[in-house]
Amino acid sequence: MIQREGEGWRLAWDANRHPFSVLIAGGGWAVELSDPEAQALRDGVRDLVAQHQQLVDQLMAEESIELELERGVWWLSIEGDRQAWALRAVLTPEAGQRAVEAFWPPAAAGPFTVALQQLYGQP
């Protein structure tokens, strides 16, 4: 079992919990995801953060930015400035499946994103 947490976020993985082996959480909420859902979340967040990093040098100090990405069952958004951003994720699966809306404020979004990338061995 892997478990990481910080102020306003938590991430856990337990291979013995099938099919929902990954737990993601924020302030006052938690949800379990399947490995494929969590891996798709990881990949989407990684790509969205990379887009932000590519644009950081073009932003003035007081300028804010919002980026969105829709991929598969996930809709993702980061909103913030050069230094920090909030992360929102919406899972909209096939009909008859559960749906999720998740949010991490700026203080939690960065550390959660790093932990999510490390969960599956990504830098």
Helix axes 35-55, 106-119, angle to 10 degrees: 120
What does DSSP say about strands 22-26 and 9-13: parallel, antiparallel, or unpaired? antiparallel
pTM, two decimals, is 0.92
Which residue range forms the structural domain that includes residue 103?
Answer: 2-119
Please, are residues 104 and 8 in contact by the beta-carbon 8 Å criterion? yes
Q: How confident is the model at residue 121 (pLDDT cuts 50, 70, 90)?
A: low
Q: pLDDT tens, 37-50?
A: 999 999 999 999 99
Q: How many structural domains is the chain composed of?
A: 1
Q: pLDDT tens, 1-23?
A: 889 999 999 999 999 999 999 99
Nearest to 38 by CA among 13, 18, 68, 2: 13
Reported as type and span, the H/E element at residue 9 is strand 9-13
Which domain CATH number covers 6? 2.30.31.10
